Structure 1
Amino acid sequence: MKRRNSGRWLGIAAASLVAWSAPKAARAQTEPQSAVVGGVEIHADQLEYESGKQLLTGKGRVAVMRDADLLRADFVTFHTDTQDALARGNVVLERPGSLWRGEQLKYNFNTRLGDFGSFEYFADPYYIRAKESHQVTSNEFVMKKAVFTTCEGDRPLVYMRAREARIIDDIRLRAKGVWIFLGPLPIFYTPYLAKRLDSLGWEFIPGRSGRSGYFLLSAYTFPLTTNLLSTTHIDYRSKRGWAGGQDFRWGRFGSTPRGLLTSYYAADKKPFKDDEEEEEWGQLVDNDRYRVRLSDIRSFSARDYIITEGNYLSDPRVIEDFFNEEFRMQSQPENRISLIHRGDRYTASIALNKRLNDFFSNVNRLPEARLDIPRMQLGDTPFYYESFNSAAWLQKEYPKGFETNNYDSIRLDSSHMVYYPTRHFGFLNITPRGGYRATYYSKTYETTYVTNQAAIMESNVIVGVTNTVEEQVKEGSGLRNLYETGVEFSFKAFKVLHESPIGRDFQGLRHVVAPYAKHTYIPEPNLRPFDLPQFDAVDKLDRRHDIFFGVRNKLQSKRRTTAVIPIQAQEPDALDLLLPQPSGLRVHDFVDAGVFTTYRIKRYPNEKEFSGVFFDARLRLVDWLPIDAWATLDPYEGEFTDARVEVAWWNLEDSSRLSIQYLYRKDKRNQVSSELSLFPYDRWSFRVYTRYDLELSELEEQGYFVEHKTSCLGMGSGYKKVGEDDQIWFQVWLTAFPKSYIKMGL
């Protein structure tokens, strides 16, 4: 009864609104009319109200809104008491996360239920069509003869057809009698399918590998929550057997918290490729192979964050065998937790690092606390100060079965340095410095030599006496005192070569030369490296007297910031003021090259006066051809001991790229690698990778990949050969989802 009276009053209010708006409509037929009834807003080119039926009729561009629901159509009748709506003609219903289209719809704005009939529906990223449909609850649709696809248009390339389907909460699908079509061809059937519409679902990569035989890698990916993604792996390799794993990923790149937890197990029937490998690794590798990895980063504030990395492996080769790309980035996984705080003038951290697998060597830090103060001015004085401090319990652990014994020590290290920068003659920078470093060790080694007399016996008769020297090592604690003094010299000289614009994007040209020298003197400390347990570079510090010197050359211009710059531009320095300063320009280095070496005033035995001569160069003459080079020259042998050169060609229009890298290390490596990527964002894309050994004159590695993408479907195939092992595979994916969560470590 109350509901009927309420509807009558709402009807009267609606009629009043329509009557109020009618004169305006007479004056301007194109101006829409509006009404508000029980929290529902109705807009249309023409509104009519029948008070006896409590019925509003909208004609022409009708929009009915309540909360987040929006109904649009050419014609709508709306019952003001029950809030039932009947829409016809170009009907669109928008609700959070979904979009429905059709020619006719019955919908109740109170219950959010309706009879949708034949319709088109969008539940990101799926387009859904059905011959019949109705809404059985506020969050559940039932459809007959439904088609699901991520492709736009009337002729999708790939789609699912279901005899009956239910959509729950706009995201969960339950379907019966499901066929999957590739074009007109049915390729898969299942009597029942349950999945989330926002998940990738199943993906498969079939192929063949010389090491693994024929294989099928599969993964099922779906979101557990809006921020937690699950991927289940089931893999089969004909030569190696079954394998599987479970991954969880949370967060997104660039945000915190983010991370992953992965696990993988393989019942490996063939863990060794030949008898020689089995003889080398047989004691460490068996048929049960697995890995567990945890990686997480999360911030508590803009200044505080924690990084966690954990890895537990069955053997030292499992990452190389099944996750080869990961192995190339890091051959020995870490296990650490680091809590870091960044203050205005300091950085404080505490880290825990512990070996979990006894077949690796490691320096355990249980834990290590650090306080670092970067160089800062001391008040209003001309002096600058920097400090690095740490406290740790360190353990050096060798692989199990190693003949060397493990050792440990508590180490407290505190370094302090004061600088006094000065400027002379208007261009010469001279910075004297002095500092002290104290390092305490709970365990040190004191070596003493004891001379003993021993009798010389012949036929049980003493015929003489000889002296023997015995080395004795005694453990104890100690404080190493390290003093350092020195002075730094530097200046910059320049010449303006050109002041006028260069092309469209550059203004002026200058040559900058910047010589520098750094003198360092450290007298012999009271504790030498051989007196101390060795964990890292801190323990190797010793007497030193040398001059490090070099020179940098730059060819610079000013560049308009609106230009396309794929390589990050550099910040201006003090010399920028010497060139004209048009607005919107910043410094661009066409060439940045340096050469430097160290002259040892005091040397160790077998040490030469000069270290190697080091070179580095960075060329950015044009955007599409970046060049980088590094090299070390032995000045006494007159030959390079190592070198690396990287050259890349970019097509700025389609992002195609060719890169060539030369890598040389004396007596170890002399190789050229190249990678060509063509049209990576076009429908057809190609990639070729090679690595060639110049010493052996053989191709060490090669890979060829081709991809074809439509508006909704991607297809790819690849061939890769490393040494004697070759691999070939094929992949299909929906472009609405990430390409793959399968790692191609075969």
Structure 2
Amino acid sequence: MKRLLSLLVPLLLCASAARAQIGSFGDVPIEITSEATRMEGGLAIADRNVIIRHKDTLIYCDYAQYNPDTHDSYLTGNVRIYREGHLFTADRAIYNLETKILNASSFEGDVTPFEFGGESISTLNNNSYIGKDGIFTTSDNSKPDWFLSAKTVRIYPKDRVIFSRVTVYVGQTPVFWYPYLYQSLNVDQSFSFTPGYYSVWGAFVTSQFTFPISDTISGKLRLDLYSQRGIGVGFEMRWGAEKRSATPFIKATETKEEKQARDVQHGENWGHFLSYYIDDSKPGTNETSLARENINPNRYRVSMQDRTFLDTDLYTTVNVTKLSDARFLQDFVPGDFREDPNPDSMIAVTKWDENYSAILMARKQINKDFDGTEKLPEFAFDVKRQPIFGTKIQYDSETSTGMYQRNFANGSLFPDYKSFRADTFQQLSYPGTYFGWLSLNPHMGVRGTFYEDSGFTQQDIQNITTSNTVIGPDGLPVTTKTTTQQINENLIKNGSLFRAAVTAGLEASFKFSREYESVQSRTWGLDGLRHIVQPFMDYSFVYTNRNPEEIYQFDRFTPSTQVPPIDFPQFNSIDSLDNWSILRLGVRNRLQTRRDNTTINWLEMDTYFDIDQHRPDFGNAALLADTGTFSNLYNSIKWSPLPWLGLNIDSQFPVFDHGFTQVNTSFNFQVNRDLTVSIGNRYISGNTQFQNSNLLSFGGYYRINDNWGFTVGEQYEFATSTLEAQTYSFSRDLSSWVASFGINIEDNGGKSTYGVIFTFTLKDLPNVRFPLTLDPSSIAGLGGSSSSK
């Protein structure tokens, strides 16, 4: 007959030492439920359908012996131990209810996302275990489609698992062997072994090993072998929020800028150190149509990014990158090269307040193969727009001072220049609403800038004559002379200079709207419609007593297809400030509807153009692609009628005057649950600063069935009739894995690079590629940045 026995009663009949043990055991009774329970030789014996409960521990088994003196439980037959959300099963085990020490044979268990088993397991301490002849997998099938078999396994729940002499099996086939393997349970890319082929490197094998340095710092070692380039080694460290960003628990779509903004908002420290070195056996390899300079085979990259909060509103920023040469990123980290070919190097201390910010910064161009503007140092103090003494008059300002130097890359014809500069801008504005509908914001500002040195560059044409002696047909030497022209850029200095400027402007806008409740369409996601129309005007006037041609250009105007901002402090090209009188007219249209208990923008369209009563050239008329009185007509359309349909069109046309044409289009459409298509086009024609282009991008994913999928991506340039990029891949769902295979081909000005894409990705650990990832642009660690970036 089944009965419940509380050990409180028999233990009261034992010696006083037993009662003391209970007192030190938290005064929590131990309950044993079984079909037959008895006391025998000081031990509690339970037989058949045994259940033992104490605090957060629950044990099931067929037979148990409990020693009240030592708190050891001897368990046999279908042993199951539940504790802190973890399950261990075994044929037999010894478990101490007080110390939580476990020794078991023929065990199984789980540490999310792994399931494991082995011949024996023992507790190292209260929170770690060691297993012998263990098997680990994320597959929940009775016959797992992959697993790790290790001679010994150290398990640290919620932290890490360390394997010794481990073999990786896919199905029942061994595919890799490691003498030692570390798998973090909260940091991605803990181990990686990546073979492949890329035309720039030849056959290659990259590997990385992640390990904890402390509770807040993780480290990573790299060893890469390239058949055409040699051996590369690297070391990385991450700490603080940057370490957490490498875990699978941070939003996968979060950008680097969003993460840093979140860190500033919450005052979170973060950092990342990266180093990489390779003795390049073929540094002259060039898969582009551009010429390449001689490169030293000792190639490296060292970088560090860090943000440390000294207080809730005071923090330091470090961003330093040293490269061995200008081609390192292009050769070994093409993804980073496309994003930022000239990485910055600066350190700063920032004081942030709701009303102002102060920054002390030093920027140094430590890579002499790149152009750069150095600030050694610069102090900037910005006052955010705020009312003066509680009135409606708003005040804002920005002030900066420092030593500035413009350095050009080694071998450049342009001379370097430098100057001390002090600049201040003070502005008053009076925003308000009139007649209940008209918003006006008149503003006026003054700017004063002092340069210790000023000047400009001037071209000098130099005739160079070279002699060449050859042997003529008669066997006598013949000397020939060749004259060539070389253009040199000379620096003309004008001494100190003070520039004064006055700015003024008026912003005006108003809104009117109309609602159409009868507009209802489930197909187009419409539950009522509201049309908002907002005409606006922005007039800006600037007068300065100096032409920017006389001024050294540090914070300078950069050519762009878009019109520059005409208000302050949004316009921040301090040294390119020029006289202008510009009227910007436009209208914003919004179509809004209700969805999911909120209001969304169903369609947005912004249209505007400039009337240039006095057009600035920012010190270089050659920078202007449009020199007429009227600018292009700009139009931006964003249409998001449904979650699975989106269209963006940014365009500009020379409607009123001569100019150039540009249209950028992107279209995303999920045709059905199996097919997704994206189409983009970049078109530009007639801009003297940029090449004509008509680039078509196409991408798509087709789900063939529950197990197979196909992905395609192409870029075709109609202006040169060139298929610039191609990607084709198949993916296969393998229960616990997703495998993909494909080809990537890129055209680099007539020369092609190609690679093979072959990946195995664990579903339960999507950031851990077990990996056969052969897409060169996406492999983090080829001297490059993390995939979490």
| Separation in structure 1 between the aligned mates of residue 703 and residue 768 of structure 2, nearest angstrom | 17
Q: In the superposition, relative to structure 1, how do residues 367 and 650 fare at CA in structure 2: closer, same or farther (>3 Å)? A: farther
In terms of mean alpha carbon deviation, does 216-225 or 649-658 score higher? 649-658
Which of 676, 680, 698 is the aligned partner of 1:674?
698
User: Which residue number in structure 2 is paired with residue 538 of structure 1?
Assistant: 574
1:529 aligns with 2:548: yes
| Separation in structure 2 between the aligned mates of residue 657 and residue 101 of structure 1, nearest angstrom | 48
Deviations 1:397-420 (A, max 9, x none): 111222322122222222122222
| Separation in structure 2 between the aligned mates of residue 107 and residue 527 of structure 1, nearest angstrom | 85
Deviations 1:378-398 (A, max 9, x none): 344232222222223211111
Q: In the superposition, relative to structure 1, how do residues 637 and 189 fare at CA in structure 2: closer, same or farther (>3 Å)? A: same
- 2:631/2:656 contact within 8 Å kept: no
How do 1:103-502 residues align onto structure 2 when only pairs under 5 Å count? 103-110=91-98, 112-133=100-121, 143-162=131-150, 164-167=151-154, 171=160, 173=162, 175=164, 178-188=166-176, 192-193=179-180, 195-196=182-183, 198=185, 202-250=191-239, 251-253=243-245, 254=259, 256-273=268-285, 280-283=291-294, 285-300=295-310, 303-445=313-455, 475-498=494-517, 502=521
3-state SS of paired residue (2:641)? coil
3-state SS of paired residue (2:233)? strand
In terms of mean alpha carbon deviation, does 354-363 or 236-245 score higher? 236-245
1:730 aligns with 2:758: yes
Deviations 1:688-712 (A, max 9, x none): 2111011122211111233334343
| Separation in structure 2 between the aligned mates of residue 604 and residue 306 of structure 1, nearest angstrom | 38
Q: In the superposition, relative to structure 1, how do residues 736 and 372 fare at CA in structure 2: closer, same or farther (>3 Å)? A: same
Q: Aligned-pair distance for 1:473?
A: 5.7
Which of 619, 631, 647 is the aligned partner of 2:639?
619
| Separation in structure 2 between the aligned mates of residue 512 and residue 406 of structure 1, nearest angstrom | 52
- 1:303/1:341 contact within 8 Å kept: yes
1:516 aligns with 2:536: yes
- 1:44/1:58 contact within 8 Å kept: no
Q: Aligned-pair distance for 1:521?
A: 2.3
User: Which residue number in structure 1 is paired with residue 248 of structure 2?
Assistant: none
Q: Aligned-pair distance for 1:508?
A: 2.7
The amino acid across from 2:503 in the alignment is E
| Separation in structure 2 between the aligned mates of residue 385 and residue 379 of structure 1, nearest angstrom | 10
How do 1:63-142 residues align onto structure 2 when only pairs under 5 Å count? 63-65=52-54, 71-73=59-61, 75-94=63-82, 99-110=87-98, 112-133=100-121
The amino acid across from 1:712 in the alignment is S
Which of 629, 649, 652 is the aligned partner of 1:632?
652
| Separation in structure 1 between the aligned mates of residue 100 and residue 517 of structure 2, nearest angstrom | 72
User: Which residue number in structure 2 is paired with residue 585 of structure 1?
Assistant: 598
In terms of mean alpha carbon deviation, does 388-397 or 248-257 score higher? 248-257
Q: Aligned-pair distance for 1:189?
A: 5.0
| Separation in structure 1 between the aligned mates of residue 418 and residue 684 of structure 2, nearest angstrom | 37
3-state SS of paired residue (1:81)? coil
Which of 694, 707, 730 is the aligned partner of 2:718?
694
| Separation in structure 2 between the aligned mates of residue 268 and residue 84 of structure 1, nearest angstrom | 61
User: Which residue number in structure 1 is paired with residue 611 of structure 2?
Assistant: 599
Q: In the superposition, relative to structure 1, how do residues 367 and 718 fare at CA in structure 2: closer, same or farther (>3 Å)? A: farther
| Separation in structure 2 between the aligned mates of residue 620 and residue 274 of structure 1, nearest angstrom | 43
3-state SS of paired residue (2:301)? strand
3-state SS of paired residue (1:249)? strand
| Separation in structure 1 between the aligned mates of residue 394 and residue 194 of structure 2, nearest angstrom | 60
Q: Aligned-pair distance for 1:720?
A: 0.6
| Separation in structure 1 between the aligned mates of residue 705 and residue 183 of structure 2, nearest angstrom | 28
Q: In the superposition, relative to structure 1, how do residues 298 and 93 fare at CA in structure 2: closer, same or farther (>3 Å)? A: farther
User: Which residue number in structure 2 is paired with residue 572 of structure 1?
Assistant: none
| Separation in structure 2 between the aligned mates of residue 196 and residue 601 of structure 1, nearest angstrom | 66
Query: Runs of 5+ in structure 2 lacking a partner?
Result: 1-6, 17-21, 246-258, 458-489, 556-572, 622-626, 783-789
Q: Aligned-pair distance for 1:96?
A: 6.1
- 1:534/1:540 contact within 8 Å kept: yes
- 1:123/1:197 contact within 8 Å kept: no
| Separation in structure 1 between the aligned mates of residue 673 and residue 308 of structure 2, nearest angstrom | 37
3-state SS of paired residue (2:152)? strand
Q: Aligned-pair distance for 1:225?
A: 3.7
Q: In the superposition, relative to structure 1, how do residues 197 and 409 fare at CA in structure 2: closer, same or farther (>3 Å)? A: closer
Q: Aligned-pair distance for 1:119?
A: 1.5
The amino acid across from 2:25 in the alignment is G
3-state SS of paired residue (1:727)? strand
Q: In the superposition, relative to structure 1, how do residues 101 and 644 fare at CA in structure 2: closer, same or farther (>3 Å)? A: same
Query: Runs of 5+ in structure 1 lacking a partner?
Result: 1-6, 17-34, 448-470, 563-583
The amino acid across from 1:38 in the alignment is F
The amino acid across from 2:732 in the alignment is H
- 1:15/1:51 contact within 8 Å kept: no
Q: In the superposition, relative to structure 1, how do residues 421 and 445 fare at CA in structure 2: closer, same or farther (>3 Å)? A: same
3-state SS of paired residue (2:213)? strand
Bigger RCO of structures 1 and 2 (CA < 8 A, at least 6 apart): 2
| Separation in structure 2 between the aligned mates of residue 485 and residue 223 of structure 1, nearest angstrom | 58
| Separation in structure 2 between the aligned mates of residue 596 and residue 173 of structure 1, nearest angstrom | 61
In terms of mean alpha carbon deviation, does 431-440 or 353-362 score higher? 431-440
- 2:420/2:452 contact within 8 Å kept: yes
| Separation in structure 2 between the aligned mates of residue 610 and residue 399 of structure 1, nearest angstrom | 38
In terms of mean alpha carbon deviation, does 356-365 or 394-403 score higher? 394-403
- 1:206/1:731 contact within 8 Å kept: no
User: Which residue number in structure 2 is paired with residue 558 of structure 1?
Assistant: 593
Q: Aligned-pair distance for 1:665?
A: 4.9
| Separation in structure 1 between the aligned mates of residue 710 and residue 214 of structure 2, nearest angstrom | 36
User: Which residue number in structure 2 is paired with residue 645 of structure 1?
Assistant: 665
Q: In the superposition, relative to structure 1, how do residues 346 and 506 fare at CA in structure 2: closer, same or farther (>3 Å)? A: farther
The amino acid across from 1:362 in the alignment is G
The amino acid across from 1:692 in the alignment is Y
Q: In the superposition, relative to structure 1, how do residues 293 and 613 fare at CA in structure 2: closer, same or farther (>3 Å)? A: same
Q: Aligned-pair distance for 1:224?
A: 3.5
Deviations 1:62-117 (A, max 9, x none): 23336x75544455332111211122444223456954212332223355444412
3-state SS of paired residue (2:326)? coil
| Separation in structure 2 between the aligned mates of residue 693 and residue 241 of structure 1, nearest angstrom | 35
Report the aligned-residue RMSD.
Answer: 3.7
The amino acid across from 2:11 in the alignment is G
1:12 aligns with 2:12: yes
The amino acid across from 2:759 in the alignment is Q
In terms of mean alpha carbon deviation, does 700-709 or 716-725 score higher? 700-709
| Separation in structure 1 between the aligned mates of residue 288 and residue 726 of structure 2, nearest angstrom | 25
| Separation in structure 2 between the aligned mates of residue 730 and residue 80 of structure 1, nearest angstrom | 58
Q: In the superposition, relative to structure 1, how do residues 682 and 366 fare at CA in structure 2: closer, same or farther (>3 Å)? A: farther
3-state SS of paired residue (2:574)? helix
Deviations 1:400-446 (A, max 9, x none): 22232212222222212222234444433333222211222222349
| Separation in structure 2 between the aligned mates of residue 344 and residue 14 of structure 1, nearest angstrom | 70
User: Which residue number in structure 2 is paired with residue 705 of structure 1?
Assistant: 729
The amino acid across from 1:520 in the alignment is S
| Separation in structure 1 between the aligned mates of residue 674 and residue 737 of structure 2, nearest angstrom | 20
